[in-house]
Amino acid sequence: MDPMEACRRYERAWNEPSNAAALLADAWAEDGIYADDEVPRGPVGSAALVEFIRESHAAIPGFRVWSTTEPRMLARRMGVGWQATGDAAGTESGGTDVIEFAPDGRITRVTDVLDLD
């Protein structure tokens, strides 16, 4: 898996919760971890991440996320800025994802550094 393709599938999974499992199947490592300021231990594995994505959509109707910067690679790590919104007022958020990759290109860890205001 090309890391850029893995990143694209990861972003699409956040916007297509009903298709997230299929999108992450080849892009997310079996023991891949997602962590952010609100869930520092985060979900481990693609099934747990898919559930977390679906829970996020249930909690924030109309939830959408998109990249705000071009991804930058350095030593099997990628940095990319992002923004998210939902239908309700005040549901904007953003931050920077630091994405780590296995030698085969699958995502092993996403550390999501939220923009805290």
Give the residue extent of every domain in the chain: 3-114
Question: pLDDT of 27-53, one tens digit each?
Answer: 999 999 999 888 889 999 999 999 999
Indicate the CATH number for domain 3-114.
3.10.450.50
Long-range contacts of 68-75 (CB under 8 A, 24+ apart): 68/94, 71/4, 71/7, 73/3
- Of the pLDDT bands very low, low, confident and very high (cuts 50, 70, 90), residue 117 is low
> Given this model, what pLDDT does residue 75 score?
86
Percent of the chain topping pLDDT 70: 97
